[in-house]
Structure 1
């Protein structure tokens, strides 16, 4: 699989003086001139452009000045970008050695079927080598909404026309059926409500927020509170903890459902899903309150916690011989029943650390963490420092998202990588302390690589590393498990570690088709389009695109769910109006399902 080191993109050198005031240069005029005539505008050779639907009709990154000029000109023939209006410039300094000037702007495009697209973006300038002028080095564009068709960031239509409670009916027809009421399902439901698109959100559990409270008791979010708001407003109070525990997350979800009239069915289980080819693509049988309901929908969105819901413990021989308790990360709640006894946790990423900390807090007499591979460790203070510069109480979440999430993936990655590399060198002693007790640190790992390309396998250190370094939690590494024995685990070396409880915190199944099959069936699940990773220009293949005809797969952390949901909702809206984006032209003739459907 292609990695970030294989794709274009690097941070510009810091050439902007610290005392430079961008108001002394007419950047809005420079930006408007550049946007109105990009072919003649001075740019860097390594120019980057990232587009969210408004020009390319996809989520796309394009790299290289010549390529961008050609593609911008080609798309402009169809989209006719116009009415560029630039605003006040700001300076970005993502690292001590890099800087550029960002100029936000708005513009208008012509979309499919006569729709008018209201769009926004940033054009970024860097200073010439000799300091004589400014060159464009990055361009970001995004579709805000379709003129006269609502806005995915404006929930006011929800309050004017809240959805009726029709759960007593047995037959239902909606535009979108969403399965799973975690952050991804709730975010999409809110966006659809804002756009006036009918939907039903199904949740198999009896309570909102179970996707968090159903995990082990000690689970918390490992990103700061202000990154974890659901769409439209701040979900949490300023007095809530900076790292939100599961109960507070769930309460925020419940408040969101009440405030935005989310049309949710709890304790609703999908029993059968039939696929059609006409206006109604999906016919789904749902068991709720002891009765079978039939829901017909044109679009089906699976938001069941892809890649973070189904535990994936290894199969260890002779488990039946073990006299203790064997749990995985899904069945583990807390260590209280084993107070004063011996515990082993297999796995050294976030789950493994959290379980080990729980064992320590609950007074187990002996705690061993089995480390199977080198583990990347990123202290929470590093993570929160960077996040809080963008996501804080002074910046509305939707503006923070535009500044952060529109950046090409490689650029975001480089800022984090270089800052963390410098911090790791400055704080080498804290990692040396881990190595001294046998915990092997992945020194060169990049957080963004792990998040985007691997979906985990790291630890955001919220304090457990210190307990490992001081010996409260023992480490065993470099010795594979051979089998269970009556009193614990035997290793390839012949050593036996005794335990009363063994918890496998070894991650989750990464293939979302396994989980999807429980709803859509194995045949449909196997046909789902899966991402191949980064493309040659550094965009994540299939990002926010459908995985099948009228079929969407949603997931990710809250910030990702919040951001991605707005573009999924816009694509669904366009398709329902009979004016689909390219990836939604399922009849092969560029006409979606052939005609518009009432939203």
Structure 2
């Protein structure tokens, strides 16, 4: 049976199934019968019977590193059949055991039994999830199957009952920096680098984090003073160490910066601050990376490491405009914008209409500054309350362990999850109708998002789970779309003026001229145009020896499968054992484990390579 195109994918609603679920559903009994059938078909390697008996007619299988050492989605019976033929016997997938089952009705026309299970492979421990739907022949089959790498059988994390037992009380000393080269160098000591380091430490992999700033957390301390995390606290916990339950829903940037410093100390992460990685090259003879790290004093150290994790995020985009050298006022890029206080009494233009632009413009408006926001493209905007709280309710995250929510979130293939996102986005637009109408009247150009899915696709094409982004597939550039924290009402009330629907022609001595012939005299221009291609950081480390277009894309989506590109795997064969890790806190928390497990597997010789078919 040919696989369906993702563009024509549909949710298994009652209309599509041609039936509705029975009034009484014994979820555990149904799940146990399905698991027994599924496990038997896997054990017998009877792929045709597995697909016909256990899977719905239009099935999906998403694998995160467990059977493919990759992030892969297979859609349709033909593609899943090929995948299973190639990987079932090779990986020795089996020992499938039921964990739990829950009957869920996300919408009146949509119902399934979410079945969680464990499994093993020749080297891995895994957790899986299937969503069983009631088919027209009155049999429950899996519309989706999800297999996730949770651990390595011979190399468990040293956590919980496996943590170190040291009875030598009073003899503890803090971890010191390595005198020998570590196995892994992590470039960047923000939340991403620290998360990966914590995961590697739990697996007993030696690593060193280098952070260019003077203190861990300075990347947050040096941002604008009014900044806070845009996502709610319950989705932002870091590995092994959750935020206190007394903390606010939206964590102030400086508070979070201090938390990162505390996190590094509490988990004894080996960080060298005021240290930059300046260059690296592949040693063909030793199959390692020779990396130079440097202190501000000019002192250098040369490391030979097996793996390099690039956890420095995206570089800020330094957008330039014709004539800007003629401008007599001040141009400040958002990365250097700390406060609007120096601009009181002046006229300010904010170039951009996403999160950083909203924050800068709002700061100006709060101080009574004459500020105009120049919008270059339509944006999806949603409120925090009720919008974000509908999309990410605290009850969903805080009722069960965070890892269980993560598993459920990542279990659905992207092209199915988008349909749920479209329904949520429609409800949020209804919630926000007054705000959106007000923005439109004020000249702010709003969008329903790609495929009317709100923030869903922008998030995946950029860098956040609840921070929307837009993605240019040719340059891999990123801009954060706004979640309203007050700026929208200021736009509606005219405290932030709008300029949209035109392009900047050039800067003049006194301001900006637009291509409709209008000019705006200003004293200060804040350029808030987002982030640039993540590959630029790697290219600079390679001193330009590898052309940018030969480095695989990092972030964005593979439109066929909907999976994120480049991140969380090494960049082999172009740059073997170079691991780009980036994204928001939820993505980093989840995928940092996969990165650490892949590195450990490579070091121990149990990594068999990515499935390529």
TM-score range, shorter chain: 0.7 to 0.9
CA apart distance, 1:297:
0.5
Aligned partners of 1:399, 1:359: CA distance in 2, in Å? 41
Aligned runs of 1:255-404 on 2, under 5 Å? Answer: 255-279=262-286, 281-288=288-295, 290=297, 291-306=299-314, 309-317=315-323, 319-364=324-369, 366-381=370-385, 382-388=387-393, 392-404=397-409
Alignment partner, residue 99 of structure 2: 87
Greater Cα shift, 543-552 or 478-487: 478-487
Does residue 126 (structure 1) correspond to residue 133 (structure 2)? The answer is yes
Greater Cα shift, 437-446 or 460-469: 437-446
TM-score, normalised to structure 1, is 0.88
2:155 to 129, 149, 158: 149
Aligned partners of 2:307, 2:442: CA distance in 1, in Å? 53
CA apart distance, 1:195:
0.4
- The answer on whether the counterparts of 1:36 and 1:84 sit within 8 Å (CA) in structure 2 is no
In structure 2, relative to structure 1, the CA distance for the partners of 1:283 and 1:271 (3 Å cut) is same
In structure 2, relative to structure 1, the CA distance for the partners of 1:7 and 1:537 (3 Å cut) is farther
Alignment partner, residue 466 of structure 2: none
Aligned partners of 2:259, 2:91: CA distance in 1, in Å? 40
In structure 2, relative to structure 1, the CA distance for the partners of 1:202 and 1:54 (3 Å cut) is same
SS of residue matched to 1:522: coil
1:227 to 203, 228, 235: 235
Alignment partner, residue 595 of structure 1: none
Does residue 530 (structure 1) correspond to residue 546 (structure 2)? The answer is no
SS of residue matched to 2:255: helix
Does residue 216 (structure 1) correspond to residue 224 (structure 2)? The answer is yes
In structure 2, relative to structure 1, the CA distance for the partners of 1:95 and 1:23 (3 Å cut) is closer
In structure 2, relative to structure 1, the CA distance for the partners of 1:479 and 1:461 (3 Å cut) is same
Greater Cα shift, 480-489 or 117-126: 480-489
- The answer on whether the counterparts of 1:128 and 1:135 sit within 8 Å (CA) in structure 2 is yes
TM-score, normalised to structure 2, is 0.86
- The answer on whether the counterparts of 2:63 and 2:146 sit within 8 Å (CA) in structure 1 is yes
Alignment partner, residue 594 of structure 1: none
- The answer on whether the counterparts of 1:371 and 1:439 sit within 8 Å (CA) in structure 2 is yes
Does residue 58 (structure 1) correspond to residue 62 (structure 2)? The answer is no
Q: How many residues align?
A: 568
Alignment partner, residue 259 of structure 2: 252
Deviations 1:353-408 (A, max 9, x none): 111111112221x1111111111112223223222357533322222111112321
Aligned partners of 2:232, 2:139: CA distance in 1, in Å? 39
CA apart distance, 1:536:
2.5
Deviations 1:96-154 (A, max 9, x none): 542211110011211xxxxx321110111011246x22121000011211113123876
In structure 2, relative to structure 1, the CA distance for the partners of 1:505 and 1:41 (3 Å cut) is same
- The answer on whether the counterparts of 1:8 and 1:410 sit within 8 Å (CA) in structure 2 is no
CA apart distance, 1:44:
1.9
Aligned partners of 1:155, 1:260: CA distance in 2, in Å? 17
Alignment partner, residue 485 of structure 1: 508
SS of residue matched to 1:330: helix
CA apart distance, 1:289:
7.1
Alignment partner, residue 568 of structure 2: 544
Alignment partner, residue 413 of structure 1: 418
In structure 2, relative to structure 1, the CA distance for the partners of 1:390 and 1:411 (3 Å cut) is farther
- The answer on whether the counterparts of 1:42 and 1:135 sit within 8 Å (CA) in structure 2 is yes
Q: Which has the higher contact order (CA 8 A, sep 6+)?
A: 1
Alignment partner, residue 478 of structure 2: none
Does residue 465 (structure 1) correspond to residue 488 (structure 2)? The answer is yes
In structure 2, relative to structure 1, the CA distance for the partners of 1:179 and 1:470 (3 Å cut) is same
CA apart distance, 1:9:
3.5
SS of residue matched to 1:87: strand
- The answer on whether the counterparts of 1:54 and 1:119 sit within 8 Å (CA) in structure 2 is yes
Aligned partners of 1:173, 1:396: CA distance in 2, in Å? 37
SS of residue matched to 1:191: helix
CA apart distance, 1:425:
4.1
CA apart distance, 1:556:
0.7
In structure 2, relative to structure 1, the CA distance for the partners of 1:274 and 1:55 (3 Å cut) is closer
* Structure 2 residues without counterparts, runs of 5 or longer: 42-49, 464-468, 471-480
Aligned partners of 2:500, 2:124: CA distance in 1, in Å? 56
In structure 2, relative to structure 1, the CA distance for the partners of 1:388 and 1:57 (3 Å cut) is same
In structure 2, relative to structure 1, the CA distance for the partners of 1:183 and 1:77 (3 Å cut) is same
Does residue 504 (structure 1) correspond to residue 530 (structure 2)? The answer is no
Alignment partner, residue 542 of structure 2: 520
Greater Cα shift, 91-100 or 263-272: 91-100
- The answer on whether the counterparts of 1:51 and 1:142 sit within 8 Å (CA) in structure 2 is yes
* Structure 1 residues without counterparts, runs of 5 or longer: 111-115, 586-599
Deviations 1:330-364 (A, max 9, x none): 12111001123221111111111111111112221
Alignment partner, residue 10 of structure 1: 10
2:599 to 564, 569, 572: 572
Deviations 1:476-513 (A, max 9, x none): 1122222223332222233222222110111121x222
Greater Cα shift, 255-264 or 50-59: 50-59
